[in-house]
């Protein structure tokens, strides 16, 4: 299946799944370490938020060339 064949909703599900898997992998590396409450709150707030940045805008904010 090609990305071009996906509906917008299917594409969003695919991206959410990929991000979730990456976060789980990143966070699993430090399983024995505790996250500060501040970080936990920020992550939960970010995941619950409907606000999203485009790749272009995020790259600009991080000073990267897109």
pLDDT of residue 34: 74
| Domain regions of the chain by residue span | 3-61
Q: What is the pLDDT of residues 31-54, one digit of tens each?
A: 666 778 888 888 888 888 888 888
Which of 1-5, 14-18, 52-56, 61-65 is most confident?
14-18
CA dihedral 49, 51, 53, 57 (to 10 degrees): -130
DSSP three-state, residue 36? coil
Confidence (pTM): 0.42
């Amino acid at each position: 299946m090609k990305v071009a064949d996906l509906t917008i909703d299917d594409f969003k599900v695919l991206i959410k799944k990929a991000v979730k898997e990456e976060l789980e992998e990143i966070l699993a590396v430090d399983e024995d370490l505790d996250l500060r409450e501040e970080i936990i709150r920020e992550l939960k707030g970010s995941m619950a938020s409907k606000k999203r940045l485009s790749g272009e805008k995020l790259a600009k904010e991080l000073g990267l060339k897109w």
